[in-house]
A and B are shown apart, each in its own frame.
Chain A
Amino acid sequence: MRSMSVVLAVAACLPAQKQDFGEAYSFDERKPKSRVEQTVDELLPSIVKIHGASGLATINAYATGIIVSDRGHILTLDQILLQADRTRVVLYDGSVHDAILYPADERLGVRLLKISPEEVDGELRPLWPPSEEEARYRTGQFVVSLGNCFRLAEFSEKVSATFGVVVGKANTALRYRMADVKYDGDIILTDACNNPGHYGGGLFTLDGRWIGLNMRLLDSKETNTMLSAAIPSRDLLPYLEERVLGKAREEVTTEKVPVWTGIRLFEQAGRRSPPAYVDRVKRGSPGKELGLRIDDLIVRIDDFSIRSCAEFRRVLEKYKPGDTVRVMWKRGTRVMEGEMKLAEEPK
């Protein structure tokens, strides 16, 4: 009798559970939709699939783009697959269009394509980087990433959506191993996965704000791990305004003058560059003014961690004479900090 009642209870529970499950997660027409579904539905028509040249096994011939104007401008990450005459764009409805290429932005590593809007059936649904206020994001904020990862979407199939959070904002001190990552500004780290093909797609908040353009998977030298990241959409504005709106861009050209600190580091010949211990400081040099002494270990310049002599030189290449940098060094067990005004090498 006891087992009988248990069986009955289980039987009564089963349909109930199924009903509950269907209520929340079925594909049936139902309202309201969850926030994630709403966002994905709204944004998908603005995302395109891009097919380009291939040839080598290691080059993927597919990527993702974002429509940024109703005149047919499409923004994507600049990649080898984007070759003139061989780049095609597949819209939301499955229609295929030939695209012409605009010059890429060298610093950002992004490129605009253009398809002719006359050949498009219906209206294009462009996106534009939101205002500064709206482009804000926080660590731990939920995000949806859209892109055609591994070319899973063909014809009118929709691109993939991945869900995650903003893992954090990384500064330029994050070093990458990959040579073709040119962008050196702040990036958005996320755990919404960024696989090949996802590159050039968008990163969106749950209320549909476009906060980032998906970058390639980064190979971080800092940790030796792979990272999914995005370029903040606001940083794309100068390029978009120049190429889409026709605004003239201020040309900034600077002549590279090497900086001089008067610090000589203790470098041994070897396979690896040793930590940046000070070997000698020239009299009257910026290093002397800072108060550096022999055997001090330089550990940081501004936000850059200095873990080797090679890094010390590499970081200083980013500055020009006259710049002031914050230097942190270790003397014995004390950690000291000070400002150093970089100079030009005396003749």
Chain B
Amino acid sequence: MERTTLDMWVGAFVVGGLVALLILAFKVGNLGGYDGSETYKVYGEFDNIGGLKIKAPVKSSGVVIGRVSAIQFDNTTFRAHVEMRLSKNYQFPKDTSAAILTSGLLGEQYIGLEAGGDEENLENGDKFKLTQSAIVLEQLIGQALFSKAADEGDNKSAVK
């Protein structure tokens, strides 16, 4: 095989490999997202974060506007301390509330923001005043059983 054709094939091979890597990075992976834009940090304290994980999306009206960047346990308030990075393109009023929600029945957990009506906006380092914890299935079932038992107890006493 001639030098030039050989070089061309090897060049095409290397380019093909690099293109495959770029496709993986931008089409398959998450490099193509909003990651390039600047972010600001906000914090939220939750009684129970359920299965929330670092890098879980932060959504408002279903649109991804940021990601969870750190989760810690605060040993003074005994609550979960969640740090979020929101894109600077999206500003929220100071009395915005944060809730931990689940996408679908078995889907991943994310933080949903509900905008408030304050004139001032959240700034870097601010904290959500209103938060709502994740729903824990065991507690729900426990509550349902408890109220059912209470109902039955009432019925029995009514029959007597």
A and B assemble together: no
Show the binding face of B for A, using Cβ within 8 Å.
none
